[in-house]
Amino acid sequence: MEKIKRYIPRIIILDTIICLLIITMLFFILHFFNLMFRQWIYVMFAILIILGFIIGTMQLLLKIKRKVIKISSILIFIIILLLSSPIAYLGIVFGYMPEHVIERDEKKYDESENVLSIDENKIIE
């Protein structure tokens, strides 16, 4: 246990995995009570996790001792990132659903799925 406590701050990808687990637990707890985060929180967590995985992978690749394997694996990782970034960009652009806050009878409702129906469980205080 002491070894784990000593290595977690030094390995970014472990911090990212722990953050991902905590965020996932929070999402499930809120979903259980028919609540949800605001849209900007989802975006912030997604950016944090993506950057954490990229930086953590680069950190692990830079720790490789043999120079030839290190350089080739870093080049392969960069090529994979460059090839997958347009696909991720298209997925983000076409998958974005803006949230709408509707005020009715002095109550605010978050309506991100369907503007025509208002779910009474999603009241914003």
**Tens digit of each residue's pLDDT (9 = 90 or more) over 49-58:** 999 999 999 9
Q: Is the pLDDT of residue 113 over 80?
A: no
- The Cα 12–Cα 35 span in angstroms is 30
pLDDT, averaged across the chain: 80
pLDDT number for residue 90: 86
pLDDT-above-90 percentage for the chain: 37
Is the CB of residue 11 less than 8 Å from the CB of residue 59? yes
Residue range 82-94: mean pLDDT, rounded: 85
Residue range 93-108: mean pLDDT, rounded: 73
Instruction: Kindly report the three-state secondary structure assignment for every residue of 26-81.
Output: HHHHHHHCCCCCCHHHHHHHHHHHHHHHHHHHHHHHHCCCCHHHHHHHHHHHHHHH
Confidence of residue 117 (pLDDT cuts 50, 70, 90): very low
- Mutual angle of helices 67-95 and 39-62, in 10-degree steps: 170
Q: Is the pLDDT of residue 12 over 80?
A: yes
Instruction: Name the residue ranges covered by the structural domains of the chain.
Output: 2-98
Task: Give the model confidence (pLDDT) of 30-87 as tens digits.
Answer: 888 888 788 888 889 999 999 999 999 999 998 889 999 999 999 999 999 999 988 8
Q: Rounded to the nearest 5°, which phi and psi values hold at 112?
A: -105, -20
